[in-house]
Amino acid sequence: MKKTFAKDPVVDRSLRASIKDGVFFSTMVGTSESYFGAYAVLLKASAPQVGLLASLPPLLAAFGQILSVWASHRLGFRNPIIIGGALIQVFALALLIVLPDVGHSTFPLLLAAIVLYFVGPNIGAPLWAGLMGQLVPESSRGRFFARRTRLSTIASFSGLIIAGGLLQWFDQLDLARYGFTCIFAIGLTARLISAYYLSRVQDPQKQLLSTAAAFPSIKQIAADPAYLRFTAFFAMMQFSVAISGPFVVVYLLTTLHYSYLALTLNTPASVFVQFVVLSRWGRLSDLFGNRIILRVTGFSIPFVPLLWTLNDHVSYLIGLQMLSGLIWSGFTLSANNALFDLTTGSGRTGRVALHNLLSSFAVFSGAAFGSLILLNWSWIEPHLMGLITLPTLTFTGVFLASATLRLATAAAFLPRITEPRAVRRMTYHGLIFRVTRFSPISGVIFEGITRVRKRDDPTN
């Protein structure tokens, strides 16, 4: 029997189209976006330049969200703007395909193309959030987004494997450039199909809205401490993660000298675990709320960069990526659902745009900080007076700094995050058992986190 997402058949068809859009969008991400860093390395970009590629385009593109919210409230529609953003991404991928033929000024043009690539979804992001907020019933929000994300994860995982295999094959033929041409062409085609399914989503917003209603005033934001705390927490966590995140691919390719095949085996490991556990996270989010999931995963995230410094064997790093996928799938799903819970009514798109803009600025700042550490690590390390006894690596500094700030962010904000919905009570131990009963290693790590959090919050 076909699963129904909404009683209204028009809404149900729209939600099904949204799922298909997510699948093809994720195919593009898996085959194309996931290998932007590797493409930059092929084009002789330095580590700081790769960090710039990962951070500056999302920051610049985030300003497009403000313009799109203003335009949608002036014009009274959202879907054409969202579709237009998808077509911008198609154009950006076409530019990336022809980039090696330019012959000079490669990095500035690469940066410009990736800026355009991120402008596309950023134009549509707050409008899509507002649209989904109206279409998806609150009682099944966690399950719907878990299903959508789970199917999208399959597509992303498949895209990663196919693209990695193509890159490895072309690289063995000494034709790596054409491997990237092939995977970007696949991504371009997938995004065109995604845009078609976006056009099948019905927009319930028909009336013109005042421009002032689009954006909350400073007074309104100040009067909403729950939204402020959550946005500040998410931005600070993004800053902390971006200190090391953009440089992982550079670390694997230049320091550990991974082949494209080894990179392909490493990268999808996280995606595979997300596929396995997302539906479980979604059910737990609907039943027990997002706060408890944010606390458990938020205090686990600092372990990930620390574990990167302990071993560089391929099998170890694949296992680490799997653990990372378990943690990040819960964190991302609960954070997205929490944002929906904290932003309601006509002001949702403006609040989502502000949230995303601050997060993008945090990513840019974190990557810039990570670049500074990389450029000055040879000077910084001798001044640590033996506090670090790990093997000396170029990337040790960014991993340690990222872990420290992730932990500080979790400790400062998570005890103050509230649950706006009425949900069933659940202990940390109970939640962890439901998620990690298939994984003894992750269970041990989460068990340590639970003991710390139990002392901080006796009510949970």
| pLDDT tens digits, one per residue of 162-220 | 998 999 899 889 998 899 999 999 999 999 999 999 999 887 765 444 444 555 666 77
Which pLDDT belongs to residue 210?
46
pTM for the full predicted model: 0.66
Segment 360-385 mean pLDDT: 74
- pLDDT class of 117 with cuts at 50, 70, 90: very high
Query: Is the confidence at residue 37, as pLDDT, over 70?
Result: yes
* Residue pair 69/214 in contact by the 8 Å Cβ criterion: yes
Segment 321-345 mean pLDDT: 83
Query: Is the confidence at residue 81, as pLDDT, over 70?
Result: yes
Which pLDDT belongs to residue 382?
54
- pLDDT class of 428 with cuts at 50, 70, 90: low
What span, in angstroms and rounded, lies between the C-alpha atoms of 379 and 395? 13
Segment 50-62 mean pLDDT: 80
Which pLDDT belongs to residue 347?
64
Which pLDDT belongs to residue 216?
62
What span, in angstroms and rounded, lies between the C-alpha atoms of 18 and 202? 10
What tokens were used for 294?
């944010």
* Residue pair 110/50 in contact by the 8 Å Cβ criterion: no
* Residue pair 179/162 in contact by the 8 Å Cβ criterion: no
Query: Is the confidence at residue 238, as pLDDT, over 90?
Result: yes
Q: Which residue has the tokens 């390390």?
A: 381
* Residue pair 370/246 in contact by the 8 Å Cβ criterion: yes
Give domain status of residue 211, yes or no: no
Give domain status of residue 209, yes or no: no
Give domain status of residue 404, yes or no: yes
Give domain status of residue 208, yes or no: no
Please report, for the domain that includes residue 451, its CATH number: 1.20.1250.20
Range scoring the smallest mean pLDDT among 224-228, 310-314, 443-447: 443-447
For 49, other C-beta atoms within 10 Å of its C-beta total 18
Which pLDDT belongs to residue 96?
94
Give domain status of residue 4, yes or no: no
Of 326, 285, 288, 294, give the one whose Cα is nearest residue 413.
Answer: 294
Give domain status of residue 91, yes or no: yes
Give domain status of residue 366, yes or no: yes
Query: Is the confidence at residue 253, as pLDDT, over 70?
Result: yes
* Residue pair 121/62 in contact by the 8 Å Cβ criterion: no
- Mean pLDDT, all residues of the chain: 79
Domain, as residue range, for 183: 10-202+219-456
Query: Is the confidence at residue 378, as pLDDT, over 50?
Result: yes
- pLDDT class of 6 with cuts at 50, 70, 90: low
| Domain count of the fold of the chain | 1
Residue at 436: amino acid letter? T
What span, in angstroms and rounded, lies between the C-alpha atoms of 238 and 65? 18
Segment 321-338 mean pLDDT: 86
Which pLDDT belongs to residue 212?
45
Query: Is the confidence at residue 268, as pLDDT, over 90?
Result: no
Residue at 415: amino acid letter? P
Give domain status of residue 260, yes or no: yes
Of all residues in the chain, what percent carry a pLDDT higher than 70?
Answer: 80
Cβ contacts of 250-253, under 8 Å, gap ≥ 24? 250/37, 250/41, 250/47, 250/50, 251/394, 251/395, 252/317, 253/38, 253/41
What span, in angstroms and rounded, lies between the C-alpha atoms of 135 and 6? 8
* Torsion angle in degrees (nearest 10) through CA of 246, 331, 414, 304: -50
Segment 61-88 mean pLDDT: 80
